[in-house]
Amino acid sequence: MNRFLFILFILTLTLGQSSFAQLTATERKLLKTANNLFDDEQFAQALPIYLKIDSVADDYSVKYRIGACYLNSKYEKLKALPYLEELSKIESIEVPIIVYSDLGTLYHYTYRFDEAIYMFEQYLLVSRKDQFSEKKDIEYAKRMITVCRNAIEITTQPFKADIDILESPINTMESEFCPLITADEQVMVYMQTIGLSKLAKPETYLMISFRNSEGYWGAPSKLEITLLEKYKGKSILLAGLSPDGQTIFLNIGQGLDQDIYSGALSGKIITDLKKLNKYINTSFFDGRVSISADGTVLYFVSDRPGGFGGTDIYKSIRTKRGDWGEPENLGEKINTQFNEDAPFIHPDNVTLYFSSEGHKTIGGSDIFKSKFNAGSWSEPENLGFLNSTKDDLYFVLNANGQIGYFSSSKNNVFNKHNIFRVNLKDPIPLTLVKGIIKGGIPPVPISATIQVFDKETGEKVKYVYNPDPETGKYLMIFPPAKNYDVFIGSNDYLPQLINIYVPYQTYFYELYQEILLQPVTLENGVVGEIVTVNNTFYDLYKTIEADSILFDDMPKQPKYYDHLLELIENIIQTTDSMRFNYRKTNQNIEAEGKNVDALLNLIEEAIETTDPITLSILDANAIQKDKIKQTHFYVDGDKNKSLTPHVIGGDTIYSAPTIKTPSSQTEYEKIQNKMIERKDLKETKFRLSHAEDRIYIHRFVVNYPINQDEIPTKKLSEIQDICRLLMDNPSLGAEIYGYTDSQGEEKYNLSLSRQRAQKVLRFFIDHKVEYQRLIVKGFGEAINSADNTDPQHLRRVEINVFELKE
């Protein structure tokens, strides 16, 4: 705080010649030493001496110097308060008027806003008569009066959020600050400064922590950067994290010349560190970053010329070529003549959180929120409950708008920061899709690319959707009430196009998706692929509604609201492991135990009283899941023939036939479809179909010795494999066509060909393949083909597996 230094000069002028009659010679000597130290700005050394003198002599000048020493200390500023207070009560020409202003600053710090306003007004009053008063001090006092009035207004508003300090192992005796989380709140990166207040050169590290299955933050570890030696001698600080946690942004540089770099984050290792382009990085300070969930907009801080003063927030849009375009200042609604910093664009893409020393701050930097609506930003709103009169800087929020993290030095004398978690109780409607993609038998995570298109506009939303190749996990965040096409590409499987509809919702909606790609194999190769899409929905609003219908004596709000929030929290904590690993936390065991008993009793009673209605309600009220399993067979065994073109946003994309998940249908359609689904398959008329409607997916030939109709034993296992294929896939039928060579009588040969086919049919039926799906014919003598005259080749049964065209 430079302003306190100013005191010193006036002091030397006005109080320099005070008398110290009561002091002994030794004390005078001490005072002289102290004054010398004070003049050299060695306040920490001067202070104990002044304190000693003060204990024996009552002198304004000593008192003021003690005050000044404290004001210039790092952690003990508030101790100046009683000394300055005493001085301010003396109406003496000897007391410098800046004391009023300093006292006001200290009162403001300690939330004594009324007294602070009085002191600043007092300062303004006397400053008019004072020739030494400077314009910037007058402006400061005027601004502080406004700030204190803001503070009175904001700090008296009802407090609606819960704020908790994170426990060990995140917060320690050292300083933890600048937390950044992924949208699903599973990963947190932050900075830790070790040795603040102790070491001459405190060290700052980048840390990462993962949330464990119990919902607590796990032991943090240091982030590792590959090729770190390239940045030797430069400071490396966190700048931002993409909502999916796969891209990390760093500030690297020296002093105020900071540049923005992006890198890939995998586990705790940062690779591929790249400096962003020249539009983003200038010779000026370029700092904190926030990237939109769809990866197309980058918000960042810069003090480049042309802004509104101090650091301003800019945004840059990704160009068609994939790089960042020329940035644009967010404008006067957001940026002020003071510093703006730490932008955070919520995954809803319209809510911006940022810190500012301007706007309606209650002191220092405060966190503000503004929404982008109809082409402009709304008046920034002070998030009063989490702001203090000190600097409040870094604030991030999870996808549902519920849980935020920030760091603050609140209540810490050494200015050490701690990380806090805040429950805002102010949700933003959004749909979060967490998924996992696996392939093969047994399934393992595969690397794939996922692209999402808004069906209406055909616009491609890119960049943040790709699954992590190690875990197969991906994350997508959608504004609700829209249809989307999800296009999945992978090396070993057909490209897939999946439609999903994200319904409109009032609250938060979460979808857990599992995509499984598996080959359909016969002994001699792959004939198709099975795609399984498993969607599990949580519609919290529905749960509430169901509850409120069943219990009309319960108030709907706000009791339910709290319940809802709890649910969201639980869901977020459990989704990661939802299917395989239900959460076990101590406080939940008892409650869950009760629920299981209730469920068991309910079902028992329903069976005992043969009550189908209760069972139906239970069924209908169950967490909705939909599973779609589709098998794509290769046409003529050729993978590429199975692709169909789609035109999306002007581009043509080839994929396997589109998969419509039940989530892209209304609930009525879903029920209807489920009812007809099974009937449909059974009634498919394989035998009546025309040959041109059949799509052949596999052909198999069995050759026979002369005059034999028994299936050669060495072919049995392959034929059994075809039986398995037919049985597991009700959509398939097969032709069984028998032939003979031309030796012998024609009539006999016809019956021999039939017998050959019949024996194969018998084998199929013995293996439980429905005869309705098999078309059996004996063709008699096969016609010699020019390229193969071997009679063995003619004595055969053809098994042609087919699918019917839709």
Partner 1 sequence: MKCSRILYNFFLIALLLNVPMLSHAQYSEYEIKAAYIFNFAKFIEWPEIEGNNDTLILGIYGTDPFGNILEKTLIGRKAQGKDWKIIRSSNLSDLTKCHILFVSDVGKFETLTIFERTKGLPILTLGDELIDFCEIGGIINFTSQFSEHQFEINNESAKNKGIRISPKLLLLAKIISNKEDEF
Binding site for partner 1 (CB under 8 A): 503, 505, 538-539, 541-543, 545-547, 549-552, 563, 579-582, 584, 592, 595-596, 598-600, 602-608, 610-625, 667-668, 670-671, 674, 678, 723-724, 727-730, 765, 767-768, 771
Q: Rounded to an integer, what distance in angstroms lies between the CA atom of residue 88 and that of residue 596?
A: 69
Strand partners for 438: 445, 516
| Closer to partner 1 by Cβ: residue 350 or 602 | 602
Q: Give exposure, 538-549, as e/b (b: 16+ Cβ within 10 Å).
A: bbbebbbeeeee
State the amino acid at position 564 in one-letter form.
L
| CA max distance for the chain | 145
| Closer to partner 1 by Cβ: residue 297 or 727 | 727
Backbone angles phi, psi at 459, to 5 degrees: -75, 140
Strand partners for 483: 501
| Closer to partner 1 by Cβ: residue 334 or 725 | 725
Q: How far is the CB of 637 from partner 1 (least distance, A)?
A: 21
| Closer to partner 1 by Cβ: residue 275 or 625 | 625
Residue 480 near residue 449, CB atoms below 8 Å:
no
Q: How far is the CB of 677 from partner 1 (least distance, A)?
A: 9
Q: Is 517 helix (H, G, I), strand (E, B) or coil?
A: strand
| Closer to partner 1 by Cβ: residue 552 or 692 | 552
Q: How far is the CB of 411 from partner 1 (least distance, A)?
A: 37
Residue with tokens 């050759």: 703
Give the contacts of 630 (CB within 8 A, at least 6 positions apart): 530, 531, 532, 533, 657, 659
| Closer to partner 1 by Cβ: residue 187 or 540 | 540
Q: Is 439 helix (H, G, I), strand (E, B) or coil?
A: strand
Q: How far is the CB of 593 from partner 1 (least distance, A)?
A: 8
Q: How far is the CB of 193 from partner 1 (least distance, A)?
A: 41
| Closer to partner 1 by Cβ: residue 625 or 641 | 625
Q: How far is the CB of 750 from partner 1 (least distance, A)?
A: 27
Q: Give exposure, 661-700, as e/b (b: 16+ Cβ within 10 Å).
A: bbbbbeeeebeeeeeeeeeeeeebebeeeeeeebbbbbeb
Q: Which two tokens stand for residue 255?
A: 């002093």
**Calculated CA dihedral for residues 249, 250, 253, 257, nearest 10 degrees:** 50
Calculate the alpha carbon distances from 224 to 207, 228, 265, 267, 459 in Å.
Answer: 9, 8, 10, 10, 36
Q: Rounded to an integer, what distance in angstroms lies between the CA atom of residue 577 and that of residue 608?
A: 35
| Closer to partner 1 by Cβ: residue 274 or 580 | 580
Q: Rounded to an integer, what distance in angstroms lies between the CA atom of residue 803 and that of residue 806?
A: 9
Q: Give exposure, 247-269, as e/b (b: 16+ Cβ within 10 Å).
A: bbbbbbbeeeebbbbbbebbebe
Q: Is 483 helix (H, G, I), strand (E, B) or coil?
A: strand
| Closer to partner 1 by Cβ: residue 152 or 530 | 530
Q: How far is the CB of 755 from partner 1 (least distance, A)?
A: 20
Q: Rounded to an integer, what distance in angstroms lies between the CA atom of residue 544 and that of residue 561?
A: 9
Q: Rounded to an integer, what distance in angstroms lies between the CA atom of residue 724 and that of residue 801?
A: 12
| Closer to partner 1 by Cβ: residue 278 or 682 | 682
Q: How far is the CB of 600 from partner 1 (least distance, A)?
A: 5
What's the first-to-final CA gap in the chain, in angstroms?
77
Q: How far is the CB of 682 from partner 1 (least distance, A)?
A: 9
Q: How far is the CB of 588 from partner 1 (least distance, A)?
A: 11
Q: Which two tokens stand for residue 755?
A: 């017998």
Q: How far is the CB of 470 from partner 1 (least distance, A)?
A: 22
Q: How far is the CB of 730 from partner 1 (least distance, A)?
A: 7
| Closer to partner 1 by Cβ: residue 39 or 604 | 604
Q: Which two tokens stand for residue 122?
A: 């007092």
Q: How far is the CB of 538 from partner 1 (least distance, A)?
A: 8
Residue with tokens 């066509």: 737
Q: How far is the CB of 548 from partner 1 (least distance, A)?
A: 10
| Closer to partner 1 by Cβ: residue 636 or 766 | 766
381: alpha, beta or left, given left = phi > 0 and alpha = psi -120 to 50? beta
| Closer to partner 1 by Cβ: residue 272 or 728 | 728
Residue 278 near residue 284, CB atoms below 8 Å:
no
Which strands make up the sheet holding 496-502, listed edge to edge? Answer: 460-461, 448-454, 482-490, 496-502, 659-660
Give the contacts of 718 (CB within 8 A, at least 6 positions apart): 522, 523, 524, 700
Residue 457 near residue 649, CB atoms below 8 Å:
yes
Residue 381 near residue 363, CB atoms below 8 Å:
no
| Closer to partner 1 by Cβ: residue 45 or 720 | 720
Q: Which two tokens stand for residue 660?
A: 């419509």
| Closer to partner 1 by Cβ: residue 571 or 782 | 571
Q: Is 535 helix (H, G, I), strand (E, B) or coil?
A: strand
Q: How far is the CB of 622 from partner 1 (least distance, A)?
A: 6
